[in-house]
Amino acid sequence: MTAVAAPDRPVVRRGGSPARPLRALWGLVGVVLVGWVLGNGFLSLAYHPEWYGHNRILMALVGIVLGIGGSALLFYCINVFIESLPQRASQGLIPYAFLLPAFALIGLMLLYPTVQTINYSFANNKSTAYVGLDNYRAIFADPAFWTALTNNALWLLVVPAVTVAVGLVVALFADRLSAGGEKYSKSLIFLPMAISFVAASTIWGKLIYDANPNIGVLNAILGTENDWIRMSGGRLNSFLMMIILIWMQTGFAMVLLSSAIKNVPDETLEAARLDGANERAIFFRVIVPQIKGTVLTVFITVVILVMKVFDIIYVLTNGQNNTNVIAVMFFDELFTAGRAGRASAIVVVLLLLVPPILVYQVRAYRKEAAR
């Protein structure tokens, strides 16, 4: 028998078990049957709600069972089929069988649509004929697009850096509390991460930034009656909305940075202290170099999130008052103005911002894989 040695190394195959055609047939029939039941089950939910008595709870339950149970069965049948093939074929095919559903989804939901969007960006608004670079000329000539681009840049400059900085401060102070105090204070700061962008925008927009000083805390504290969210002087409203995102993401930064700080070996801290380093020097010369990797991970994660920031702005200002960003502009072009060509061109520009981060991600992965 061949034992699979270490992964990443070609398996040496000798001999091998014979094919078992009956079992293979059984597996194949299973795959087809499960696929057929799954497909028709889902379609029946869409087209024949009367079969389920229009009972939405029942339909939801059927959907859940079909989706989860069906996929498990499908995997099982694929496996039965492949393992009954001659061993040589089976060993080679198994990885692909395990990868197939994941890559089918990635292909259909990410690869194909991305290519198609690039394609649409050169086409007219009904995506029926090519118009060359017209869409790009139109958006680059539009001052609103440059406003959105500027705002995106501002969000990218401010939010990731502030989130990491605040998260780091919180992690450092929490580290000096007793175990219980640390646990509870961190939980409270982590909690906003569970809240949706829409609910967070409701909280901040309606209870903190509201123009009525009896409702909005900010006006109550300052004794003013400003409609903060409409005040675009110095991009003030954009900054106020950034605070919402920072409020939500600090907990995430804190959790990762905190565990990185706790992983700094005691010996290095003790050695620095024996050498007479003060706390400042210890932080910048001993701790920071050792948590640099985590700081970058957090930073990149927030950058990716900020690039597609949509909900907060869409819900609070819908891009009015100089707050527009690319994602909101895309939404408006596509669904309000019905200009699919321009909308596609706008997101393609967003896509062009990706490569630097992408190169970093792939490099980081390569480095880790080499370790």
Partner 1 sequence: MTALAKPAAVTAPQVRVNKQKGFMRDGRRRSWVSIVVMVVLALLWTLPTIALLISSFRSRDAVTSSGWWTVFTDPIHQGWTLDNYSGVISGSNMGMGFINTLAVSIPATVLPVMFAAFAAYAFTFTYFPLKETLFVIIVALMVVPNQVALQPLLNVFGPYGLGISGQFVAVWLLHAGFAMPLCISTLRTYMATLPGSIVESAKIDGASHFQTFWRLVAPMSMPAIAAFATLQFLWVWNDLLIAKLFLLPSNSTVIVQLQQLLGTQGQGAELLTAGAFITMTVPILVFIGLQRFLVRGMSAGAVKG
In this structure, the dihedral spanned by the alpha carbons of residues 65, 69, 70 and 71, taken in order and rounded to 10 degrees, is: 120
Q: Which is nearer to partner 1, 101 or 289 (CB)?
A: 101
Q: State CA 19 to chain mean position distance.
A: 44
Q: What are phi and psi of 332, to 5 degrees?
A: -65, -45
Nearest to 349 by CA among 331, 336, 335, 330: 330
The residues near 8 (Cβ < 8 Å, ≥ 6 apart) are none
Shortest distance, position 300 Cβ to partner 1, whole Å: 9
C-beta of 157: minimal distance to partner 1 in Å? 18
**Closer CB to partner 1, residue 50 or residue 234?**
50
Shortest distance in whole angstroms from residue 367 CB to partner 1? 9
Min dist CB 3 to partner 1, Å, is: 5
**Terminal-to-terminal C-alpha distance of the chain:** 31
Contact between 346 and 262 under an 8 Å Cβ cutoff? The reply is no
Q: Which is nearer to partner 1, 134 or 182 (CB)?
A: 182
Q: Which is nearer to partner 1, 68 or 133 (CB)?
A: 68
Q: What is the DSSP code (8-state) at residue 194? A: G
Question: Minimum CB separation from partner 1 for residue 130, in Å?
Answer: 16
User: Cα separations (Å) of 369 from 8, 99, 199, 330?
Assistant: 11, 20, 40, 37
Closer to partner 1 at the Cβ: 110 or 337?
110
Distance in Å, CB of 337 to partner 1, minimum: 13
CB nearer partner 1, residue 4 or residue 22: 4
Looking at beta carbons only, is 26 or 98 nearer to partner 1?
Answer: 98
Output 83 or 235, the one with its CB closest to partner 1.
83
- The residue among 112 and 239 lying less far from partner 1, judged by its C-beta, is 112
Name every residue whose Cβ is closer than 8 Å to that of residue 170 and which is 6 or more positions away in sequence. Answer: 186, 189, 250, 254, 258
By the 8 A CB rule, do 256 and 298 touch? yes
Least distance (Å) between residue 143 CB and partner 1: 22
Q: How far is the CB of 329 from partner 1 (least distance, A)?
A: 10
Helices (H), the chain: 21-47, 56-83, 87-106, 112-120, 134-141, 143-174, 179-190, 197-207, 217-222, 236-262, 266-274, 279-281, 288-307, 311-316, 326-331, 340-352, 355-370
Angle 127-114-99 from CA coordinates, rounded to 5°: 135
- CB 361 to partner 1: min, Å: 5
158/256 with CB nearer partner 1: 256
d(CA 250, CA 69): 38
CB of 94 to partner 1, least distance (A): 5
β-sheet bridge partners, residue 130: 123
CA distance 86 to 100: 20
